[in-house]
Structure 1
Amino acid sequence: MAGIAAARLADAPEAAEQQLRRALVVGAEELAGRELAAMRTQLVTAVAAQPGRDRDVARAAASAAACWQPISSADAVHLWLVAGRAWHRAGRHAEAVTAFDRPLLTGPVEYPAAELALVRAQFAESLNHLGRYRQAAWQFDEAARLVAGSPALRRRHADLVWSAAVARECCGQESAALGGYLRAAGLWGEQDKIVARARCLRAAAWLQLRGPNGRVRGPWWVTIDVLMAELNRRVAAEPAAHLVEELKSTRAQFAQMCAQSSRPREHRDAPK
């Protein structure tokens, strides 16, 4: 029955799934552990080939991972990650974190760096959804480290550094977040991505203004002044709508910062 299913995986995954589920029922008491594990892995492939089945993929992958655990840790790790990614796509972030936790926090994962970075980023996004920002920041940092040396993945690297900074700000690690925003702004600047650079610099300026105990952390006015000068030059050369909008937003936030910097410390806060 499993052989028939294997022959139908490519052209008729629904039929292959039905055949594999029957085979698992028939062979549950008769087949060796490796044979059952291989059959459960085939079932994951059949379900994954059908659109809109992320929850079923996750459940099938978790069952297959549990079967492989005493036989092959590498296969179990891969299938736990398949389950985590499927739960993540389905928006079931608590289940995704549970699945990701097993392989990513217990040992090395033998994935290519770029793919492992994507997995860690998905793990971090699910952690964010659960309000676990400190752990999310660490996963984003690890993902950024994995792709830092790849010229083809410079955009992903910058985005991961930025995401880590946001997570660190959310969990109160504002000094680390400030460094992350400035680093991300530099990476975006190297790629001539002025909109992303502007948003990172504005976030950095707010953190510089809103320092600990109401004290200014850094020269926020310098950060904003550098950004406005850069945007003015870009708009003068190319008055594109998105550049004009970034300049307008930067000027508005600069005015808010100036107003807040003159208020009593207890009334300072970032814009809502």
Structure 2
Amino acid sequence: IDSLLKTISNIPAPNEPFHIRVPSRSDYKSVIWVVVTGDLPEDELHTAAKRVRDDLLALDGISRVRAFLPREHRIAIELNTEKLEAYSLTPDAVANAIRQSSIDLPAGAIDGPTGRLDIRTKGQAYSLEEFASITVRSSNGARLTLGEIATTITDTNDEEKFISEFNRRPAVRIDVGRIGNENALKIAEQVHEYVDDSGGRFPEGIILSTHADRALSLKSRLETMGSSLLQGALLVMIVLGLFLRPQLAFWVVVGIPISFA
């Protein structure tokens, strides 16, 4: 990764040192859910959910967003056996080419003095056209695509549907999380602002809601700690002021928050 980064010319502050870190799943902590609901066809609802996921990832300070889409949506590919023999290909080789090309995964992050640069591979194919354009083999600048060796590429669904509902409506849940020292309160605030301003961004019938906001409990604990600190400081000042000098009580109270800094 380090050698490849040296070939990229548009990285912010290229002359400053960067540190590469690949986060593990244990670093991930969920902050808030965004629920996309609507009485619309399934494809339109899923398209809206993918747009919400991409919009949230584009916000500053948000690096981890996962959309929980049903798994029943599948692409059926029928290969032309004559063309496979002509190009000396096997079904396994074609399947491996699809797995390697159709993928969308987080690939880590680069931490530098000017901020964080998140790296993601965005090559997941969704439509029939995207699958047809997958490169199965390339040689001397020539590409052999899946569409050239496939008899049919069709969009198929299982008879048994995966049902996800929110307030009795079809829904897709999107989990917005954080890793490392990312600010959960700021992330939740940005998500709420995005949801509040989403009225004119999506087709009629699409409704965005927030759920399972864990930043609320964090904010409540911080407020409790602040309130306890003020009450304790006032009690210390009163007790020490009665039995000792008020000036001494004042400096003791001042030292309490400093000792926790």
Q: Fold-level match, TM-score > 0.5? A: no
Higher helix share: 1
Which structure has more relative contact order (CA 8 Å, sep 6+)? It is 2
Which structure's CA Rg is the greater one? 2
Higher strand share: 2
TM-score with structure 1 setting the length: 0.23
